[in-house]
Structure 1
Amino acid sequence: MNLKKNSKAKIVPIIISVSFIFFVAILFFGLNLYFSAAKTLKSGENLFKSITKNEPPVFSANFRLWENNCRSLLKKVNFIDRLSGRYLSRRYRIDEFGELAEEINRLLPELVGQEGQRTYFVLLQNDREIRPSGGFMGSYAKVKFANGGLKEVFFQDIYVPDGQAVGHVDPPLPIQVAFKQGWWKLRDSNWDPDFPSAAKTIEWFFQKGGEEKADGLIALNFSLVKEIIRVLGPLYLADYRQSVDENNLYQVAQSHSEIDFFPGSTQKKEIIADLGLALTEKIKNTQADGLKKILGVIYKGLAEKQILMTFKNPSLNDFVDRQGWNGALKKVKPSKNKDFDDYLYWVETNLGANKANCCIKREIRHEIDFGQGKTVKESLSLFYKNEGKFSTGIPPFFWGGTYVNYLRIYLPLSYRVTSIDVNGKNLPAEEITLEMKKDFGLQELGFFVRIPAQKETTVEVNYEISLAEVPENYSLSLQKQPGVAGFLYGLNVKSKTGSFVYESEIFKDQVLNFVLGYDKIRQR
């Protein structure tokens, strides 16, 4: 009895001592990590300011300090991660962010032209008038870097190079059907859903309009600018004697741009330039904590395709491609053995010459049936609701109206489409355009869908495929369009043994994997 008490009496102090030592160690490493992170943030702020305030002489020193601090911080994070049994890696994807930071640091000198000059065109897209790359390109910014410093930011109306272009280019058929003008212009040139391909067309039109060659194109949506202003706080436009925040940004920009606008007028350029320069100056003077928030907004925007980018430099271009930041169509390969790989992407284009996407709600229902043996049947239903109050715009109060949507649906080449219905009525073959994109392993189905104000429209597409053998695994790659806000997506996977229902709000590309078991379907 006494021996047991003595043993316990000896063990308790040991446990307390070990716990205390562990607590002190955690506290030490935690404080060390905190100060290291603060030091890294400060060096990042100094680097950012040397770039944006065009101070090339200090770029190299600031960059080296930032790079060294990043490496030191990552080593400490990885050490604590190992102590935690890789909890941080599982919970916060530490390894992934570490690799991303190292690669960005490797490419940053090239991006900001440390060894010369770099010119980028930033396409300012209005996602309330949805287009394949995110929105209508009403304006653009020309951003120049030289020797590691931001040399110039210049804003221009897209109609200026448009008006200087000579010659004639036939438009894609849907643009001609919608606008009946007979020509294709720069402002409508982001037509291809594969942004790297669209970028080549956009650059061609820019050069025909007298613009210089760019080292890269960046497509930036209005929604992301609004989110950055929400984080930074209001902007003051001295020439207009007006304060602009995330709530009135659209109304101010749209009113000054569109009312009494005609090709050749300067009011749109002036308001966009004033907003853009005010925002640029505010970002330049933002401290480390604010910059961290802006980076968070941008990183989220990249994942949700509110920003797309493509570059001439092979290393930069390869990087954004691997990260999925270039808005490329996925390349689909035929399924092998008992693994069935599927793909789905739908792309909307507003050809109503309005901002109807201010008020469009959408929900997607998708069903796939494996219960027919080697024949797989799929049904895709798209539910649209136009919550706009008026059928046409009433500037400056309302810019929406009927949503004239040229809808394109991308499926693997091997599928057979059996029917397309709009509001329960079969769409005639002559109203559907079919194009094979063999380089991507895809087929494109295109047709017009009109959603009047205060109305709902349903599109249903049915298709099927015959497989060599009954699949055991199913993988669906679901691609989301740039500029489209989150939407509800429901998938019902059916087989002879039962069904599995997946439902989620979609904000970015998804890959869904399922095991088609003999007893039941389960998600991997």
Structure 2
Amino acid sequence: MSAVRRSMDGVRPKERQKNDTKGLIEELNSVVGDRPQRIGLHRTSWVNSGDTRPHTTSSKLFRSPTTRAILSLIPWLIGAGLVVSGLLYVSKQGAEIKARIISNAGAAVKNLFDARDNLLLFDFENAQKDLTSARDSFEKAEKSLKPLTPGMIRLFSHLPTLGSLGAGRDLLDAGLLISDAGMAFSDAITIVEKAGILARATSTKELVNEQIFKPLDEAIKRAEQDILDAESIMGGISSDDVSEAYRVQLNYVREQLPEFQALITSARDGLTFLKSALGSDRPRQYLILFANSSELRPAGGFPGSYGLLTVEGGHIKDFQTDDIYNPDGQIKEKIIPPRELQHITKTWGMRDAGWWADFPTSAKKVAELYQRGGGTSIDGVFSIDPEFLSAILKVTGPITLNDYKLTLNSNNVVAELQREIEYAKNNTTGQPKKVIMDLAPIMLEKISQLSEEKLPILAKELMSALKSRSVMMFFSDTKLEKYALSQQFSGSVKETDGDYLNVNIANVKGSKSDAVTDTTMKVESWLEDGNMIHRLTLTRRHDGGFSPYAFYNQTNQSWIRVLVPEGSTLRGISGNADPVLKSLIEGTKTGMQEDADLAKLEETYSTDREKSVTTLKESGKTGFGFWMIIPAGATKSVQLEYAVPAKYVSSNYHLIIQRQSGLRVSNLEFTLQKRFGSNIRSSVPSMTDWPDSWRLTSDFNEDLDLKVTME
């Protein structure tokens, strides 16, 4: 590279130190000579000079061997004195230079790691500012060394107060390399700002490769090489040879280098995933479920409409939308639906296939039933809920649908689309969901036209949606699905060796009332005989009843599953409902098909009729299933107490509370009671110490991952 010595001129640090020492001696010799001199009264003669002429003017005093030996040292001592005097002067300048270097390097290191944190948060704007500041600070520090020649730096390396300037130079080189790696990411951000071409109908495989994939690949390669070179330089710096001021920064950078390497590896894996998922090798087709979280289902909202997305060569080739009941009507077989749905439907189809809390499991069933309805083989299933549509409209601005006399924005998109679908006041086509079919291509066009300033904002919104499960992705390709699982946007039920909780709600004939139902969760916990006891209180308040939209005023009726660690036992439940539900297929199952996966789930059911609760097994967890019914304007609570086996509990207690896609929780409160002498040393996130317990509250926009160290 141009600004930084990548390999330190090919010389290893220990060899360089030997060369520095040799060079120092040579420079001293060049000033004062390497041998003592003899002094005569009028002229000098060098020892071993070969000059044999007699000293005709010397006195007896100067002929004395002792005197001559003493006098011969004088010029050497004078030369050495001159060097020391020079060193004292230059030492002061060097100390000032060193102070400036440490100051600038310290600022650069801080900027560098601030940039890393902002990159992880997808705060591209501030990341670029931090990277620029880091580079500028490193360059200022490097400029401070320019007044010092290589010989002076070697000289200072042997002085107690200025030793480590050489190591400091190496540290600056490594810092500049890391900074350059960061600037490579900055360049990648600029490339991302051109990503609108992915959604343009006029895009080609060659255009996308030239403007997106190839530049991203080059930026990542540059960052990879920079970090490798930085690691090489850092490996050659010994902590023993570095002053305390440098040692702190040296150790900190060394500790953080693996994180930079992991960031680059993640970028490389992400690019590989993106290229394959976008059809760089072959065309790919994905089912897009428009999941309506106003009507919750286990794997997200009820998908009244769906889309079929075709991508090839890195860009969108085709996108079509349809009513989900159309392919369902083409399924020839009559498939027995889940027990909890048998009072509202006689057959099972794609619309109700998302019956597992684990999205990959549900997505596979959706794909299977889509094909049974005459659909083609697909490469994956994506779920998108209205929260993400709202986020898109925040970036693109309002969209006007002239044929419907409708303007949609981030605040009204959910209610207005639902109103149009339910009542179709401005739709004379007889296809109530056509509004979604008309909206989708317009929204894609708006995305393709976003400015370079707004595309990173949209990327940040997408990552936030993936984190909160507003968007979930399943891939039939095992490599792509493995990546989705590793990045936690697959919507899978999480695996853990510790404690776990997932409250999963399925709206069954409750219309769109989940949109106006407030949910809170309270978990009170304590240790008892080595087990962790939890008392979960689920409270839901139905704020409908007076809405101009009838679909918000219907009774909210839900089948709820509480998933907990396998082997947990229910100690009690109260507040749940026991509705009398009449099956529409009772006595008519002859000729109907049983789905093997659904039968496997229901085989685990064990129902306590007295308590109206069913214990089940799903996705490697134990579940407790029950009904909760809330009329408009009412508030209901269900409380259940259960014991988690001791094998999931240790002094390093770990609890994951997983958020259901589409479920809005206004408040989650977790308390760990101070019973039986339990005490907390630390927790992440931090818990508040109360007289009787430790407490944590959350708005639960994403999974809660709690780690507690107990004494």
Q: Which residue of 1 aligns with 2:574?
A: 421
The amino acid across from 1:359 in the alignment is V
What secondary structure sits across from 2:407 in the alignment? strand
**How far 1:303 sits from its partner (Å)?**
0.8
Q: Which residue among 44, 52, 72 is the counterpart of 2:192?
A: 44
Q: Which residue of 2 aligns with 1:61?
A: 210
The amino acid across from 2:435 in the alignment is I
Mapped to 2, the partners of 1:406 and 1:246 lie a distance apart of 30
Work out whether 1:411 is the aligned partner of 2:564.
yes
Mapped to 2, the partners of 1:468 and 1:310 lie a distance apart of 32
Work out whether 1:159 is the aligned partner of 2:288.
no
Distance 1:424 1:57, change over 3 A: closer
1:349-364 correspondence to structure 2 within 5 Å: 349-364=506-521
**How far 1:511 sits from its partner (Å)?**
2.6
Contact 1:236–1:278 (CA under 8 A) maintained in structure 2: no
Q: Which sits farther off after the overlay, 133-142 or 58-67?
A: 58-67
TM-score normalised by structure 1 residue count: 0.83
Mapped to 1, the partners of 2:320 and 2:622 lie a distance apart of 40
1:72-83 correspondence to structure 2 within 5 Å: 72=222
Question: Highest Rg: 1 or 2?
Answer: 2
Q: Which residue of 2 aligns with 1:3?
A: none
Unpaired runs of 5+ residues, structure 1, are: 1-5, 334-340, 518-524
Work out whether 1:507 is the aligned partner of 2:660.
no
1:305-320 correspondence to structure 2 within 5 Å: 305-320=469-484
Q: Which residue of 1 aligns with 2:462?
A: 298
**How far 1:79 sits from its partner (Å)?**
9.4
Contact 1:155–1:269 (CA under 8 A) maintained in structure 2: no
Q: Which residue of 2 aligns with 1:283?
A: 447
Mapped to 2, the partners of 1:383 and 1:14 lie a distance apart of 65
**How far 1:281 sits from its partner (Å)?**
0.1
Q: Which residue of 1 aligns with 2:624?
A: 445
**How far 1:113 sits from its partner (Å)?**
1.4
Q: Which residue of 2 aligns with 1:338?
A: none
Work out whether 1:369 is the aligned partner of 2:526.
yes
1:328-343 correspondence to structure 2 within 5 Å: 328-331=492-495, 341-343=498-500
**How far 1:353 sits from its partner (Å)?**
4.0
Deviations 1:382-401 (Å, cap 9, x if unpaired)?
121112234xx7437x6343
What secondary structure sits across from 2:294 in the alignment? coil
What secondary structure sits across from 2:300 in the alignment? coil
Contact 2:499–2:644 (CA under 8 A) maintained in structure 1: no
Work out whether 1:171 is the aligned partner of 2:337.
yes
Deviations 1:273-303 (Å, cap 9, x if unpaired)?
2211111001111132211011101101111
Contact 2:199–2:448 (CA under 8 A) maintained in structure 1: no
**How far 1:346 sits from its partner (Å)?**
1.3
Q: Which residue among 427, 434, 437 is the counterpart of 2:615?
A: 434
Deviations 1:151-205 (Å, cap 9, x if unpaired)?
101111112112222221111111124x2x3222221111111111111211121
Q: Which residue of 1 aligns with 2:296?
A: 130
Which structure carries more strand by proportion? 1
1:167-246 correspondence to structure 2 within 5 Å: 167-177=333-343, 179=344, 181-246=345-410
Q: Which sits farther off after the overlay, 208-217 or 230-239?
A: 230-239
**How far 1:432 sits from its partner (Å)?**
1.9
Distance 1:450 1:293, change over 3 A: same
Which structure carries more helix by proportion? 2
**How far 1:219 sits from its partner (Å)?**
0.6
**How far 1:97 sits from its partner (Å)?**
4.5
Mapped to 2, the partners of 1:466 and 1:114 lie a distance apart of 48
Q: Which sits farther off after the overlay, 361-370 or 290-299?
A: 361-370
The amino acid across from 2:624 in the alignment is L
Q: Which residue among 125, 143, 147 is the counterpart of 2:309?
A: 143
The amino acid across from 1:516 in the alignment is M
Q: Which residue of 2 aligns with 1:521?
A: none
Distance 1:472 1:249, change over 3 A: closer
Q: Which residue among 538, 558, 562 is the counterpart of 1:382?
A: 538
TM-score normalised by structure 2 residue count: 0.63
Unpaired runs of 5+ residues, structure 2, are: 1-88, 109-135, 141-175, 235-248, 579-607, 679-692
The amino acid across from 1:481 in the alignment is Q
Q: Which residue of 2 aligns with 1:492?
A: 671
Q: Which sits farther off after the overlay, 57-66 or 408-417?
A: 57-66
Q: How many residues align?
A: 494
Q: Which sits farther off after the overlay, 507-516 or 196-205?
A: 507-516
Q: Percent identity?
A: 22
Distance 1:375 1:69, change over 3 A: closer
1:243-282 correspondence to structure 2 within 5 Å: 243-259=407-423, 266-282=430-446
**How far 1:223 sits from its partner (Å)?**
0.9
Q: Which residue of 2 aligns with 1:522?
A: none
The amino acid across from 1:308 in the alignment is M
Mapped to 2, the partners of 1:17 and 1:389 lie a distance apart of 69
